[in-house]
Amino acid sequence: MGLASGKDVEKTRIAFENLYGSAERAGSMMMKITDFANKTPFEFGEIADMALKLKNVAGVTDEQLIPSLTNLGDIASSQGKPISQAVEAFNDAITGEFERLKEFGIVAKSNGDKVALTFRGQTIEVKKTAEGIGDYLK
């Protein structure tokens, strides 16, 4: 699937050049996103938008981006939901708003700088950070 219109590609190129301040770094990331979109049922424009949200909101590093998109895409697909809902639930969770995780069968309870996440009766406590919650979602 993953095909991109010229307009989507241009919009993404500009957004990533602004984010990175470098056409070279933007081009490299766009190649990774294009490759990811071509290997998944998700559209390029949707993946590009979610990549920007993960980088800007969650502070996901370049090295974490494709694995994060993969994990969130798998979670979304397993529930028959768009990847955007999984990304938004993740971004909300790292800011302490756990309501959207329920859409994916995950119940969260905050406890100071940690959060207890329960899925299918199994509870795991992690740090209330993008990395901690991201590791759990893997």
The residue segments making up the domain with residue 24 are: 1-56
Residue 10 is assigned to a structural domain of this protein = yes
Provide the 8-state DSSP code for 10: H
Tell me how far apart the alpha carbons of residues 24 and 95 are, in angstroms, rounded to a whole number: 31
Number of domains, the chain:
2
pLDDT one-digit tens code per residue, 56-98: 888 888 998 999 999 999 989 989 999 999 999 998 988 889 9
Report the predicted TM-score, pTM, of the whole model to 2 decimal places. 0.84
CA 98 to chain centre: 15
Query: Are residues 86 and 52 located together in one domain of the fold?
Result: no
pLDDT one-digit tens code per residue, 23-66: 999 999 999 999 999 999 998 889 999 999 999 888 888 998 99
